[in-house]
A and B are shown apart, each in its own frame.
Chain A
Amino acid sequence: MLEIKNLHVDVDGKEILKGLNLNIGPGEVHAIMGPNGAGKSTLAYAICGKEGYEITKGSVTFKGKDFLELEANERAGEGVFLGFQYPVEIPGVSNVNFLRAALNSIRKYRGEDEIAAVEFLKLIRAKAAELKMDPEMLKRAVNVGFSGGEKKRNEMIQMAMLDPIFSVLDETDSGLDIDALRIVADGINRMRGDSRSILVITHYQRLLDYVVPDFVHVLSDGKIVKSGDKSLAIRLEKDGYASVGIDESAA
């Protein structure tokens, strides 16, 4: 599904990713771990096409398409979703309106008709119930005055509504208490399926107890330095990054 080859990315003239390779097949869940400053968020932004993340070398292919040719909103239209580490506030725009505008933009990109208002409301209520989200939250302005947990839950409902085939979750677990973590993990697990793939970016192994990955990669200094299965994450948690030969203080 997603193929990243020898990816080099500069931010503000500084090279952050230095030849990263990653292959994610349909139905697979990959986790990327690594110390602060390793380039984890940069990878997420580069995949999703954020401005200022300059690809100097390498390729990103999604379902056989050259992804680097597409604008950020077009990549979303292709079915890529990014769960933000720090979800952004949009004052005055209700969650419902935001989601409807987003969903209709994606449908338009795919050549589909706009969703009928009634159908949309049914859908969003159903998804909110699945995620145990207070429907009142849907009326509030996007992320404005939300607690950390509410923001992350809001990301989950957006993901559920936009129904992506590939989700990148950038430290979605950070700052969550155990109840919120379970709800977020549940949201992620609902997205698992034979034709969907997920990339979980996390600093801690905690989330991986709930969202069990098929593959775990360690990112350090802009490259993937080690890959393995779930046991790699457990080893990192127990023995630290030094156990796989990474000097965390240098990062």
Chain B
Amino acid sequence: MASTLETRQAVEEVSGDYKYGFVTDIEMVKAPKGLSEDVIRFISAKKEEPEWLLDWRLKAYQKWLKMEEPDWALLDYVKPDFQDIYYYAAPKSADDRPKSLDEVDPELLRTYEKLGISLQEQEVLSGVAVDIVFDSVSVATTFRETLKKKGVIFCSISEAARDYPEIMKKYLGSVVPMADNFYAALNSAVFTDGTFVYIPKGVRCPMELSTYFRINEANTGQFERTLIIADDESYVSYLEGCTAPMRDENQLHAAVVELVVLENAEIKYSTVQNWYPGDKDGKGGIYNFVTKRAACRGENSKVSWTQVETGSAVTWKYPSCILQGDGSVGEFYSVAITNNYQQADTGTKMIHIGKNTSSTIISKGISAGKAQNVYRGLVKVLPNAENTRNFTQCDSLLIGDECGAHTVPYIEAKNPTAQLEHEATTSKISDEQLFYCLQRGLDVEDSVALIVNGFCKEVMMQLPMEFAVEAQKLLGISLEGSVG
């Protein structure tokens, strides 16, 4: 667990310096339900944004109005009613929250316990009324003091718009254009918060930067926006998400993440996504429609995406790399688990533009119950990209016989010097494997967790230590009840 309590305490400590703190925000009301120019003006005003950003939002909104929701993914869900969503909400008041853990779903508490989360953290996670609460407000301001010394900027994107307008203007929407796709356009119009990171030239960020987003309020769409810029010769490792499950009713989560990597710089971006997946019958659960893209602009720049996707009812997400700088490197390591009625359509795009660029894709999809799991990926080599390399490995593991795994790899090579490799396997947890583990004394759940963790090992190894141990436990918990 990415230390919510610690974060909370740290935020309390620094809140004296925190100009636009949530104390003010908490007193704010919701924006009216639905989406209109007025709502966008309301959000922009609440965020005390400069005029240029409001104009940018309104432009995105106009484009979005003319766009249609895509339906090419292998996903089956009820399309959200965009006029039935709150686009801005302050956190729930204490009166509307559970008074103690006794009022929280015992199933959820059991999971927290298995993940080894302390009682106090459980309170925070399950939304029990505590002194300080936060919803659409980023708490990624914690370690600012330490970072400031190195010149690292780590703040909410709203703050960045006010305090660092030059960098924001230069890079916002430069990787994911405002009208890139339906949900990116929506996000551009209404994003409420998110994280901004700038690593200056030659700086190796002294700590893993971590943030987590919370969805508390019923029917509040979450539109986070993250922008990370690694200047020449710099390095940063960024952790997003949380292993603890986050609970709520059908909610739309449409985030945009933009990474910009300059010469010889590297960004390692790790995600553990465990939003509420809905119940065993497929009711409820989060819609997770995310656009994540990295631009390797500098020579020998590098981006590594690692994701462990266990949550959400519907996941639609393709963290991608645009390998523009000569010698740049893109990596994508993914574990996607779907159980019960969960659906995931996820993968990556590697666009090779520069010479001597290389990319690696390792995708592990696990399906159980009645779930559907799709790997969809594109490897594209442009005509001037000499001597590029890609290695792709897509493995699917099926548990039971009512689930599905699909692999949809697209390869477009327009330069004859490209070396592209693709491997794919599909396997099942066999009765023989299971019995072998049982006979050695492991119970069914531990056996499945062991086999699945073995299957995902190459990806799990990429996770930072803080995440790895919990993520291993999470894989087991996500598949509980899928066998026997």
| Cα-based distance from A98 to B431 in the complex (angstroms) | 17
A73 contacts B by Cβ under 8 Å:
yes
Please, which residue of chain A has its CB at the minimum distance from the CB of B455? A92
A77 contacts B by Cβ under 8 Å:
yes
* 12 A–B pairs (Cβ distance < 8 Å), ordered by A: A50-B439, A73-B444, A86-B432, A88-B433, A90-B451, A93-B453, A98-B440, A101-B446, A102-B442, A105-B443, A105-B446, A109-B441
* Residues of B contacting A109 in the complex (Cβ-Cβ under 8 angstroms): 441
Are B450 and A76 closer than 8 Å at their CB atoms? Answer: no
Are B439 and A48 closer than 8 Å at their CB atoms? Answer: yes
Are A90 and B433 closer than 8 Å at their CB atoms? Answer: yes
A42 contacts B by Cβ under 8 Å:
no
By CB atoms of chain B within 10 A, which of A72, A82, A87, A93 has the most? Answer: A72
B435 contacts A by Cβ under 8 Å:
yes
B381 contacts A by Cβ under 8 Å:
no
Interface residue count for A (Cβ, 8 Å)?
33
Contact of B441 among A51, A92, A162 (CB under 8 A): A162
Please, which residue of chain B has its CB at the minimum distance from the CB of A161? B440
Min Cβ gap A102→B in Å is 4
A71 contacts B by Cβ under 8 Å:
yes
| Cα-based distance from A51 to B266 in the complex (angstroms) | 50
A241 contacts B by Cβ under 8 Å:
no
Are A76 and B440 closer than 8 Å at their CB atoms? Answer: yes
Are B435 and A141 closer than 8 Å at their CB atoms? Answer: no
| Cα-based distance from A141 to B455 in the complex (angstroms) | 11
Min Cβ gap B401→A in Å is 15
CB within 8 Å of A: which B417-433 residues: 430-433
Contact of A51 among B435, B436, B455 (CB under 8 A): B435
Please, which residue of chain B has its CB at the minimum distance from the CB of A87? B436
Contact with B along A45-81 (1 / 0, CB 8 A): 0001111100000000000000000011101110001
* Residues of B contacting A91 in the complex (Cβ-Cβ under 8 angstroms): 454-455
A204 contacts B by Cβ under 8 Å:
no
* Residues of A contacting B451 in the complex (Cβ-Cβ under 8 angstroms): 90, 93
* Residues of B contacting A162 in the complex (Cβ-Cβ under 8 angstroms): 440-441
B456 contacts A by Cβ under 8 Å:
yes
Q: Contacts A51-B431, A91-B455, A158-B440 given; 4 further ones with Cβ under 8 A?
A: A48-B439, A71-B443, A73-B444, A76-B439
Contact of B438 among A52, A73, A98 (CB under 8 A): A73
Interface residues of B, Cβ cutoff 8 Å to A:
430-433, 435-444, 446, 450-451, 453-458
Min Cβ gap B116→A in Å is 15
Evaluate whether A82 and B439 lie within 8 angstroms (CB atoms) in the complex, with A51-B431, A52-B431, A91-B455 already known. Answer: yes
| Cα-based distance from A162 to B433 in the complex (angstroms) | 18
CB within 8 Å of B: which A101-154 residues: 101-103, 105-106, 109, 141
* Residues of A contacting B432 in the complex (Cβ-Cβ under 8 angstroms): 86, 88
Please, which residue of chain B has its CB at the minimum distance from the CB of A45? B435
Please, which residue of chain B has its CB at the minimum distance from the CB of A81? B439
Please, which residue of chain B has its CB at the minimum distance from the CB of A110? B441
Min Cβ gap B457→A in Å is 4
A84 contacts B by Cβ under 8 Å:
yes
* Residues of B contacting A77 in the complex (Cβ-Cβ under 8 angstroms): 441
Closest 9 CB pairs of A and B: A92-B454, A93-B454, A92-B457, A102-B440, A106-B441, A72-B438, A76-B441, A105-B441, A88-B436
Min Cβ gap A108→B in Å is 9
* Residues of B contacting A90 in the complex (Cβ-Cβ under 8 angstroms): 433, 436-437, 450-451, 454
Please, which residue of chain A has its CB at the minimum distance from the CB of B430? A88
Contact of A92 among B431, B440, B453 (CB under 8 A): B453
By CB atoms of chain A within 10 A, which of B435, B439, B450 has the most? Answer: B439
